[in-house]
Amino acid sequence: MQTQQKNIDLANNIQMPMVGFGTYLIQDEDAQSLVHQAIRAGYRHVDTAEGYGNEKGVGLGIKAALAELGISREEIFVTTKLYPGNEAWGQTPKTYESTIESLQASLARLQLNYVDLYLIHAPFAKTERLNQWKALIELQRQGKVRAIGVSNFNEAHIEEIKAAGLPLPDANQIELHPWSQKPELVSYLTQNDIAIIAYSSLVPLSSWRTVAGQDSAKTEQMKADGVDSNSPFKVMAQKYGVSEAQLLLRWGVQKGYAVLPKSANADRIRQNIELFGFEIDEQDMEAIAQMDRGEGVAWSSGDPTKEV
Ligand code: NDP
């Protein structure tokens, strides 16, 4: 298969490549080499966050890849996220001012002048959510971020922005895969022209976050389902001559979502971007639509879109 890429149009003519390289659980010291490898393999979209503690390594990886491949900064779409602070976890929520400072600190670690997309990582800061959003609007006005969005926000969180008369997010990054399809939220986002970025697309795999310490709310039953040799994803993947991971990622892009596969393995990094040489047929898409199990499992504290 040949590496082809597709984009999603955000407002203001900004093009977001549909396949991004995810970096959660990649240590700072490993991020440089893995991000470099990913860009070499054809990724033009990299997803990091203040909370991942790896922005320095991610920035070094981008720098090394640009130098090696002779491509310009404008050809790479970089997303980072504000860690909002959560009072319920004893943290101080970020204010308008500390949000502005957080982006400055992220840019310094990344060694970049701007990021392409800045997201509020989760709707945790109830009392400061709107102030954080106003700070993102200001950062966009200053040209330090090209597009702004949210992550793990539900309909009510976005309605809060609407009710305040503020511009709506360009994108919402949420957990989406066949076991967590969130049909109501997806249709709300589509109606409001908010681009959808899917994370943790590979949850149903038996190899998903198996390293000790990579905690999530994936249940023992789900782990067992993922190793079943009759797993419906395995059967479908064989039919299309692709891996189960490619099948799961293709489901996301076929639904119109951007996807963010993370891997620390060179072969998987290359494989996870090869998604545009096959198509899941209508019958299989319908079968997958019946597999929804509800809430996401990527966060050990539960699906953050359930926050009030
Ligand atoms: P993914 O769905 O990308 O799955 C990663 C896991 O699957 C790892 O254990 C990886 O192992 C394994 N894997 C990767 N490729 C393959 C393959 N081809 N075959 C078999 N196993 C494979 O999980 P994430 O939870 O990391 O989500 C992706 C990205 O989304 C994150 O890295 C982050 O950027 C973003 N994210 C955002 C969140 C948010 O709240 N906004 C929350 C969670 C994620 P190995 O590395 O050994 O290959």
Show me where the domains of the chain are located: 7-289
- The H or E element containing residue 110 is helix 96-110
Q: Do 89 and 126 form a contact (C-beta atoms < 8 A)?
A: no
- Residue 212: name the closest of 25, 15, 17, 60 by CA: 25
| Interior angle at CA 77, CA 73 and CA 80, nearest 5 | 110
Structure tokens at 98: 């500390």
CA distance 253 to 278: 11
Half-sphere exposure of 73 (CA within 13 A, CB side): 10
Closest residue by Cα to atom 9, ligand 1, is 209
Ligand 1: distance of its center to the CA of 263 in Å?
6
Q: Is 277 exposed, middle or buried (0-12, 13-18, 19+ CB in 10 A)?
A: middle
Name every residue whose Cβ is closer than 8 Å to that of residue 64 and which is 6 or more positions away in sequence. 32, 36
Of 152, 210, 262, the residue with max ligand 1 atoms within 8 A of its CB, to mutate for a pocket test, comes to 262
The widest CA-to-CA distance across the chain, in whole angstroms, is: 53
For residue 3, the model assigns a pLDDT of: 65
199 Cβ inside 6 Å of ligand 1: yes
Tell me the best of 200, 267, 307 to mutate to test the pocket of ligand 1, counting ligand atoms within 8 Å of each CB and taking the most.
200
pLDDT of residue 132: 98
Range list of β-strands (E), 56-202:
77-82, 115-120, 145-151, 171-175, 195-199
How far is the C-alpha of 138 from the C-alpha of 100, rounded, in Å? 8
Catalytic residues: 52
- For the chain, the 3-state helix, strand and coil shares in percent, each to the nearest 5, are 45, 15, 40
- Measured CA to CA, the distance from residue 207 to residue 210 in angstroms comes to 6
pTM summary value = 0.98
Protein residue whose Cα sits closest to atom 25 of ligand 1: 200
Tell me what pLDDT residue 206 has.
85
Ligand 1 centroid to 33 CA: how many Å? 17
Cα 178 to chain center, whole Å?
16
Helix (H, G, I), strand (E, B) or coil at 289: helix
Cβ–ligand 1 distance for 200 under 6 Å, the answer yes
52: which DSSP letter? Answer: G
What lies within 8 Å, CB to CB, of 126 at 6+ separation is 87, 93, 308
Q: How many CB atoms lie within 10 A of CB 258?
A: 26
**Pair 295, 182: CB distance under 8 Å:** no
Sign of the torsion formed by the C-alpha atoms of 28, 22, 115 and 112: positive
Q: How far is the CA of 261 from the centre of ligand 1 (A)?
A: 5
Could you report the average pLDDT of every consecutive run of 10 residues in the chain (308 residues)?
81 94 98 98 98 98 98 98 96 98 98 98 97 98 98 98 98 98 98 98 92 89 81 94 98 98 98 97 98 96 93
Given the candidates 3.20.20.100, 3.30.420.40, 2.60.40.1220, 3.30.930.10, the CATH classification of the domain at 7-289 is 3.20.20.100
